Amino acid sequence: MKILLVDDSRTIRNIQKNILAKLGHTEIDEAPDGVEGVAKVREFSPDLILLDWNMPNMDGLTFLKTIRADGVTTPVIMCTTEAEKSRVITAIQAGANNYVVKPFSTETMADKIEQTMRKLTAPAP
Ligand SMILES: [Mg+2]
């Protein structure tokens, strides 16, 4: 599964890569802001996107609205901080599939990915 990390913090991206590697995910690409993220969505065609909110040039919410307006249906997990929990509804309305609060453990990330991908493949009720 190809996973795109969009986060302005190299440290966070490295932590995410380590967590994902432990979960067996090695097809990873990354972008430091929404502008490069949009380009990477086109080049890399990810199966899943882990998205930061606060970034320079283009923030996560704008990135999300941009790719959804382009018709991109790739699942997106928003990675927020505790203080941003109230913004989760905004993110979901903009097309986020799930969210995870930073800092997250390997177990939490595994659960969120499993939950997100399961929802996608669940048959319609
Ligand atoms: Mg950030």
CATH number of domain containing 81: 3.40.50.2300
pLDDT level of residue 85 (50, 70, 90 thresholds) = confident
How many structural domains comprise the chain? 1
Q: Residue 112 is part of which domain span? A: 3-119
- Give the distance (Å) from ligand 1 centre to CA of residue 55: 5
**Is 124 part of a structural domain of the chain?**
no
Residues by chain with Cβ below 5 Å of ion ligand 1: 8, 52, 54
**Is 16 part of a structural domain of the chain?**
yes
- Give the distance (Å) from ligand 1 centre to CA of residue 33: 9
pLDDT in tens, 20-55: 999 999 999 999 999 999 999 999 999 999 999 999
**Is 84 part of a structural domain of the chain?**
yes
Q: What's the confidence (pLDDT) of residue 125?
A: 59
- Give the distance (Å) from ligand 1 centre to CA of residue 96: 17
Out of 33-37, 91-95, 110-114, give the one with best mean pLDDT. Answer: 33-37
Backbone angles phi, psi at 21, to 5 degrees: -65, -40
**Averaged confidence pLDDT in the chain:** 92
| E strand intervals along the chain | 3-6, 28-31, 48-52, 76-81, 98-102
Residue 89 has pLDDT above 90, yes or no: no
